Structure 1
Amino acid sequence: MSEPIDEAGEGHNSGKVVWERWTKKRTFVRALEGTYGQLKEELYSQPRVYKTSDHSWHGGPQHYGKKVINPQANRIAQSIEAHVEVFSPKGYGQTHGHMNSAVFFVLKGKGHDIHDGRRIDWETGDALIVENACVHQHLNDTDEEGLILVLKAKPLFLFMHMVFQKMVEYPPETPVPGHEDYLPPSNV
């Protein structure tokens, strides 16, 4: 029996880590065990509404996130993941890449992404696609917070052994000058 893996392997998120999701052991795909009838009954008995307010913000001081729907937290979600991200005024997140594509909906704010060196502007109401294997970064351009909803099929990609994910540059460890007291919204 092999020992459990407690930390990320070499080349995967190595270096200084800020967010627990980069270091904590996670469930990406759960076993499907039982009879078809049992699995179907369990699926139909699961809640269909998950409140973001039931989850805590992680990260900071410029970029925070909440995991809402994923295989480790919800029995109904086996192939999708949804999380909410917030950026402090003028804040930004890590530069990273992953095999899975992602769609994010801008719920509040105006900013831009850098996708493989190319600038892409976004604002409230926009949906932005991050294509497969794209090295990217999200940046908030205004003095107001930016709020996005991220949807992706990451668990499905990991199940298919398409596990490439790389942190190119970690998020900043210091707050944006003038916004040292920023805290993510309590009503999200």
Structure 2
Amino acid sequence: MKTETSTSAVTDRETSGEEPVRKDLYHSNKNRVFVRAIAGPYNLKDELTRLRSMPRVRKGKELRFVDGPQAYSRHYIEPKDGITQTFHLHLEEYGPGGKSQKHGHVNEAAFYILDGVGYEIHDGVRYDWKAGDVAIVHNNCVHQHFNADPEKPARALVIKTKPMYLFMNMLFQYQVEPRSDKAAPGGEGFEPRHLEDNYNHAD
């Protein structure tokens, strides 16, 4: 039994005896636009001059961790800074037993684990990590980061290509569960390690 459709929603398939295709349905629209056009002035010489005037070294001791009390972030390079065109670099510190927000985004991310032990939950699947490992978050993956130690913190250096996605107008992200505003049991009173001692692969 065929479904009745308006004349404007019927293709030439109707004359061939095939089931009509409704053009007004999203998945039947062949003119969908997935990426908006890049528009506006862009002068390579001006951009190179601007980039070469930016700092080449950022001092970690001058940057403070934000958020908490379970997950803290120190942002070295953000899209809004304009220091690079393709990197977003930040340090994550998870308090004892701490966890991040549960979220998803288009851009990929690589977490180089500097110290501690923990795990990821990616689309419902658990992946364990420890210092020296690299955890990869794939595009559009709903994920969350966990410190598995109830007594010691963990930290990871995070590298993203978020600025490129912003430039291409392809970025979206969504939050499933926000960061907790309460410390995890055992993590009460924890303060992130602002000073840059050598935490790499600490036992």
Q: TM-score normalised by the shorter chain: which range applies?
A: 0.7 to 0.9
Which residue is 1:137 aligned to?
A: 144
Q: Which has the larger radius of gyration?
A: 2
TM-score by length of 1: 0.77
Between 154-163 and 109-118, report the one with greater CA deviation: 154-163
Q: Does the CA-based 8 Å contact 1:32-1:39 persist in structure 2?
A: no
Unaligned runs of 5+ in 2: 1-38, 197-203
Scaled by the length of structure 2, what TM-score is found?
A: 0.71
> Distance between the aligned counterparts of 1:47 and 1:185, measured in 2?
24
Distance 1:63 1:83 in 2: 13
Deviation at 1:183, TM superposition (A): 0.4
Provide the C-alpha distance between the structure 2 equivalents of 1:157 and 1:138, rounded to a whole number of angstroms.
22
Aligned ranges for residues 1-188 of structure 1 at < 5 Å? 36-73=44-81, 75-142=82-149, 143-188=151-196
One-letter identity of the residue aligned with 1:127: V
List gaps (5 residues or longer) in structure 1: 1-30
Q: How many equivalent pairs are there?
A: 157
Residue pair 2:96, 2:186 contacting (<8 A) in 1 also: no
SS of 1:48's partner is: coil
- 1:95 & 1:147 partners in 2: Cα distance? 17
Equivalent residues of 1:108, 1:148 under 8 A apart: yes
Structure 1 pair 43–164 and aligned structure 2 pair: CA distance change class (3 A):
closer
SS of structure 2 residue aligned to 1:72 = helix
